[in-house]
Amino acid sequence: MLEELKEANEYIIGKIKEEDKLVLEMEEYAKEHNVPIVTKEVAEYLKFMIDINKSKNILEVGTAIGYSGILMGTVAKKYNGKLVTIEIDEERYKLAQENFKKSGLDNITSILGDATEEIKKLDEEFDFVFIDASKGHYMEFFNDSYKLLKKDGIIFIDNIMFRGYLYKEYPKRFKTIVRRLDEFINYLYENYNFTLVPFGDGIGLLKKED
């Protein structure tokens, strides 16, 4: 979470009343096992974006334990939509399958594999793409998924400001990731209808135009 907005985000989180037992259980599991999932305020914004765009065909890059997938799949179901989600880690993939089964959702297709390879195999169009996976590959995830995005489709990129390291001192081991993300953001601003939203850990939003 970006430190400058921490108090504001905590205020927003305090207003969110989650009643879904499975979602709450997944939040606790993620906290206990240090699994990265979207923050609650980002989750609310993600659901809102899908809802107002009435997205029917969603691609998720980075399933983790299925938390964001269940949130997106639930909203998409309102519009007879579906979700395709890709995860590289087998253990998390299996746990996500269990959570999807518990959710009762039948509109989620899961793929186990490296998204840098699996996205290229897809042969369908999407009207919404959610990217939240390996930061060092964000440019490749974006370029591959953009080719599958319908006109007026949205790409939602989470954690794009990487713990605030893009604008403050960072550990030397993150030098390459920070450089790549900074270059990626410049690329998006220069070439697309893109905006950067500074809450959660930074959200990048893009709309596909002609």
For the residues of 36-71, what is the DSSP string, one character each? ----HHHHHHHHHHHHHTT--EEEEE--TTSHHHHH
94-110 tens-digit pLDDT: 999 999 999 999 999 99
Both tokens of 128, joined, read 């919404």
How many separate domains does the chain show? 1
Both tokens of 159, joined, read 């954690």
Average pLDDT value for the chain: 91
The domain that holds 175 is classified in CATH as 3.40.50.150
Annotated binding site: 38, 68, 87, 114-115, 132, 158-159
Name beta bridge partners: 112. Answer: 87
Q: For strand 193-197 and strand 82-87, is the pairing parallel, antiparallel, or unpaired?
A: unpaired
Residue span of the structural domain in which 87 resides: 3-207
Record the pTM: 0.91
Annotated binding site for S-adenosyl-L-methionine: 38, 68, 87, 114-115, 132
CB 50 within 8 A of CB 82: no
Residue 5: what pLDDT? 67
Annotated binding site for Mg(2+): 132, 158-159
Check pLDDT > 70 for residue 92. yes
Mean pLDDT of the 33-54 span: 93
